[in-house]
Chain A
Amino acid sequence: MPEFRMPSLGADMEAGILVEWLKKPGERVSRGDVIAVVETQKGAIEIEVFQPGTIERQMVQPGQKVAVGAPMALIRGEGEAAGAAPAPAAPAAPIPAPPAALGPAAGRVSPAARRRATELGLDLAGLLGSGPGGAVGLADVEAAAARRTQPAAAMREVIGAAMARSKREIPHYYLGHTVDLEPALLWLEAENLKRPVAERMLYGVLLLKAVALALHEYPEFNGVWSGGRFQPSEQINPGVAVSLRQGGLIAPSINGADRLTLPQLMAALRDLVRRARVGGLRSSELSDSTITVTSLGEQGSESVYPVIYPPQVAIVGFGAVATRPWVVDGAIAPRRVIVSSLAADHRVSDGHRGARFLAAITARLREPDRL
């Protein structure tokens, strides 16, 4: 009988805490149904199920901390007999984390650390220390206490770990390209005049679609580095970097962005940004990204030198739209331009292909009516 397991919602996620089950034993589930809410360092995430069937048994309770890959429920497939579930293997059992008790840490705990944890009322369950074999020291307890009082600090830790891994493991190269955005913006302004407010589009959606379409020609930027090699993705799932007001950022993906029309992509982006900021992101939106797109133009920065989010192999950045003197048909004219940038993984591609990829994005933006 298939086990429903805690999904990995990013390269550095180790565990999540079950907040609530949204489906009960005996209920039927279809592919894509939200089955549970799990608290992670990226906030509360709705977890989807990918095998249809009936929930046979829930193996963890709300409040429990569950390691990535550990079974959470058994789902009986179509035609399978009830009650035929094997017991889960012991190593995959969830890590219990009763909120009020001082449970065992993942490794050994020094006496000073245990004393300090008791003083702070800190739960040591599942805490992985920085000492040998995950031993928990005083500094680990102080750091965990700081994280508990500052949720943004937990997210900063996740971002720091992912970015440190990126800079340690990925040989980045960087390219920049100034794009004349005037034709795209004029087209968009005319288009928005025809649209009611709820269907209005922002220029960011044109940039996102141009990247998604250019990836058809340059598949070496769309996929993940896994098992010592590049694994290209057939689906184009750009993660969109969304800054959070309380600090930090998250990059949920719009899956199959290349196949959406501009109004569909705008609706998806609007919904995604709202949910990233007020809650309600889904697990598939955090685990399926094949490239990231980031735009920091609203803060006035003219260009972005982004860091690749592992295990992806490329990230495209956009700076601010700025009016600049530009040569058009041999004469200088004011044009609104934007700088696109690419950080890509030298294990997979070279600057020559990267430059062509950026040029392909520019070419798409010259013909906005075909996006």
Chain B
Amino acid sequence: MTDEELRKAVLTALASVAPELDEAALAPGKSFRDQLDIDSMDFLNYVIALHEALRIEIPEADQRHLTTINDAVAYLRRRLSQPTGS
């Protein structure tokens, strides 16, 4: 997947918990937990949406890499390029 496709996957997963999100107003390098007022339940639902869309397992310790759009794209790129794909 290209970075642009990964960015779209991240935004789609985010929109599943925060449908009102305005992509243009979202700073890609800043945590969207504060920008979108997302709590732990929304965040878990977002991680599950990513897991379901990309069919990858996301260890709990890795969730901290998913809090900004830029970090999430970089993490998912690394994760998807691993030979096991899981």
Contacts and interface: CB of A to CB of B under 8 A. Distances in A.
Q: Give the most central of A243, A245, A246, A270: most B CB within 10 Å.
A: A245
A200 interface: yes
A245 B35 CA distance: 11
Those 10 A-B pairs whose CB atoms lie nearest each other, nearest first: A273-B41, A197-B51, A245-B37, A197-B58, A198-B48, A298-B39, A278-B19, A192-B60, A202-B40, A274-B45
Interface of B: 16-20, 36-37, 39-42, 44-45, 47-48, 51-52, 57-58, 60
Contacts of B16: 278
Nearest to B63: A197
Contacts of A192: 60
Given A197-B57, A200-B44, A277-B18, 12 more contacts: A192-B60, A197-B60, A198-B52, A200-B60, A243-B39, A245-B36, A270-B41, A274-B41, A274-B42, A274-B45, A277-B42, A278-B19
Q: Which secondary structure dominates chain A's binding surface?
A: helix
A245 B18 contact: yes
A196 interface: yes
A202 B44 contact: yes
Contacts of B36: 245
Interface of A: 192-193, 196-198, 200, 202, 204, 243, 245-246, 269-270, 273-274, 277-278, 298
A269 B60 contact: no
Contacts, number: 45
A193 B40 contact: no
Q: Give the most central of A197, A243, A269: most B CB within 10 Å.
A: A197
Nearest to A272: B41
Contacts of A200: 44, 60
Contacts of B20: 245-246
Nearest to A240: B41
Given A245-B20, A245-B36, A245-B37, A270 B60 contact: no
Q: Give the most central of B18, B36, B45, B52: most A CB within 10 Å.
A: B45
Nearest to B39: A298
B41 A269 contact: yes
Nearest to A246: B20
A269 B52 CA distance: 19
B60 A202 contact: no
A135 B57 CA distance: 61
13 contacts: A193-B60, A196-B57, A197-B47, A197-B48, A197-B57, A245-B18, A245-B20, A245-B36, A270-B41, A273-B45, A274-B41, A274-B42, A278-B19
A273 B52 CA distance: 19
A273 B60 contact: no
A278 B17 CA distance: 7
